[in-house]
Structure 1
Amino acid sequence: MNTLNICIDIDGTITKAYDWLDMANKYFKKNITEDQVTEYEIHEVMGIKRQEYDDFYNRNKFKLHSDQKLRDGAKLVITALHQFHNIYFVTARDLELKTLTHLFLRNNEIPYDNLFVLGSHYKVDKAHELDCNVFIEDNYNNAIQLSEAGFNVLLMDTNYNRKPINDKITRVNNWNEIFLIITELSSQIKAV
């Protein structure tokens, strides 16, 4: 087995994809269900202006990101992968959430080699810098960008990313699938 550089997004990838929905429904007095979240952009889902959502997010981002729950199997699989591979969390979260994000990962006992809080959805340059072998993501546009830059992407299936994918993207339903795919990939990559 060869050591891989695994880049992992956080929100919607290791955390449950719809944790924000209850708080947003209460705030905007809506009753949106998970099945109705068919777009990544939350303001579009809620039927509000982007600035309204930005105001909500800026007021509530620390609580939103503190209260998230892990996806089933995420901790177990990442812990197992970390024994043989490098784990890099690469998130678009605001830079001011860096300390909170470190605490979230540590409090949930998620092992990792480094955390990169980019403050931007553009992750291609960081993936190149990290010599990424596989990127685990839930954002469709990020997955397309990364795949078009030559990276293998595992796209965590959600209602908001069910669009056509290319041959560098593999849609996955859970962390057990991710473990099997990465194990197979690491056996196929030749040692440098």
Structure 2
Amino acid sequence: MKEKRFGIDIDGTVTCPSSLIPFINESFALNITLEDIKQYDLAKALNIAPDAMREWFDQTEPAIYAASPLAVGADQILAKWQQQFHLLFISARRQHLLDITKQWFHDQQITYDHIELIGSHDKLDAAKKQQVDLFLEDKHDNAVMLAEELSIPVLLFNTPYNQDAAPENVIRVQNWHEADLWVNQWLKTGDIAPLLRS
């Protein structure tokens, strides 16, 4: 019987964090990599006017989401977790993108118990409603807020744009395989300490 309920962000967590980069480079005649994105706010990170970035993102969002590559190992770990846990995908994507989102999950052969597109980065209410025991996220302030407000562990997928300090129940992981190792440790010991790296 499934007991634990995992809240899982989609973009930059299940999808590869560099998904936007080819679209940015083509649209803005740039030649950047993920390592160049040091802030979550793309307008600030790229020194592009916020209105121009917002308009571009609104137009390009469906194509980005349809073409986003899967993060390495996500399909294997999620398939394993699906047998053990409730997988509840909670995303800042807007509701009109639900069909594209579900099609992407179908194409990637990722099963889920729930997908919720809330149209906002504030995932606290959705996470409370879904009674999540653990959250997986790539946005630093989301991770901190969820960890502090819900008193749950949050796995923060390490990227160049989320390097600020975080409380101890926000645990940085490098990839999905490390996330799985951490979950196994947590289930066995109840300990939320980061993995010890040799």
Shorter-normalised TM range: over 0.9
- Structure 1 counterpart SS, 2:161: helix
Aligned equivalent of 1:176: 177
Match of 1:160 in 2: 161
Deviation sequence 1:89-112 (CA, Å, 0-9, x none): 000001111111111111100111
Query: Is there any run of 5+ residues in structure 1 with no aligned partner, and where?
Result: none
Match of 1:39 in 2: 39
Question: For this pair of structures, how many residues does the alignment match?
Answer: 189
- Give the RMSD, CA atoms, in angstroms: 1.4
| Stretch moving more, 16-25 or 178-187 | 178-187
- In 2, distance between residues paired with 1:108 and 1:49? 34
Matches within 5 A, 1:95-106: 95-106=95-106
Where does 1:3-152 land on structure 2 (aligned, <5 Å)? 3-149=3-149, 150-152=151-153
Structure 2: runs of 5 or more not aligned? 191-198
TM superposition shift of 1:58: 1.1
Deviations 1:17-62 (A, max 9, x none): 0111121122112222222111011111221111101111111111
**2:87 partner amino acid:** I
Structure 1 CA distance, aligned partners of 2:188 and 2:178? 16
Decide whether the 8 Å contact of 1:3 with 1:86 is kept in 2: yes
Question: What is the distance in 2 between the residues matched to 1:74 and 1:175?
Answer: 6
More moved, 33-42 vs 108-117: 33-42
Q: Secondary structure at the match of 1:167?
A: coil
Matches of 1:128 and 1:33 in 2, distance apart?
A: 35
d(CA) in 2 for partners of 1:100 and 1:123? 20
Between the aligned partners of 1:188 and 1:88, the Cα distance in structure 2 is 24
Contact 1:4 1:186 in 2 (8 A): no
| Partner SS, residue 165 of structure 1 | coil
- Alignment partners' CA distance in 1, 2:23 and 2:86: 34
The verdict on how the C-alpha distance between 1:86 and 1:49 changes in structure 2, with shifts beyond 3 A counting, is same
Give the drift of 1:151.
2.2
Distance 1:87 1:109 in 2: 14
The residue type equivalent to 2:163 in the other structure is R
Between the aligned residues of both structures, percent identity stands at 28
> For 1:108 and 1:2, how far apart are their aligned partners in 2?
23
SS in 1 for 2:7: strand
TM-score w.r.t. the length of structure 1 is 0.94
